[in-house]
Amino acid sequence: MHYRFMHRLLVKPLHLLLLLSSTGALAAEMTISIEVPQLNVAEYHRPYVAVWLEHVDSGDITSLSVWYDTAMRDREGEKWLKDMRQWWRRDGRSLLMPVDGVSSATRPVGRHTLTFRSGQAPLGNLPPGAYRLMVEAAREVGGREVISLPFTWPNDVHTESDGEHELGNVSLVLTK
């Protein structure tokens, strides 16, 4: 009887530990780096930026991050979200801003890194498949630009593209 009691105390925690470590090993990480370039213009405004995933086959959308002017009185900054036309048509108009963990203030010139883990919001339990990372920027008294990076989830990937005016370098790194 003493043996069975000791067996339960030792074996059950060992099984739990193995289960937890095996599910953690399946977690994938997505790191997105977005460069907001320095522009030589008379009137500079920080860009609004939307970052989302599009499933190539189903067309499902997952908004990951939206940067906009959150400090304007009476939520005035929200009315300019529609200037990011592609994101707005696909997901933005159906969202009630602000979205916890997704929306935030605009970012200054420089490189900005976003990291997401599978199983955690807003990435969640993204099903395997072919996707496009979409990054769209729009700036008052400026232009609009969209960068698309195709990838397969959850493979190890490093891909990048350079913008022409509103965005600088955008990179995506996936690790399993």
Tens of pLDDT along the chain (176 residues) come to 555 544 444 444 444 443 443 344 458 999 999 999 999 998 999 999 999 999 999 999 999 999 999 998 989 989 999 999 999 999 999 998 989 999 999 999 999 999 999 999 999 999 999 999 999 999 988 899 999 999 999 999 999 999 999 999 999 999 98
pTM score above 0.75: yes
pLDDT at position 23:
41
Q: What is the CATH number of the domain that holds 129?
A: 2.60.40
- Measure the CA–CA gap between 145 and 125, rounded to whole angstroms: 29
Domain that holds residue 40: 27-175
What was the pLDDT predicted at 26?
A: 59
DSSP state of 166: S
Residue 13 falls inside a structural domain: no
* Residue 158 is assigned to a structural domain of this protein: yes
User: Rounded CA gap, 159 and 31, in Å?
Assistant: 11
Whether 121 is in a domain gets the answer yes
Nearest by Cα to 114 from 101, 127, 98 = 101
Number of domains, the chain: 1
Residues 47, 67: Cα–Cα separation, whole Å: 8
Position 17 in a domain: no
In a domain, 167, yes or no: yes
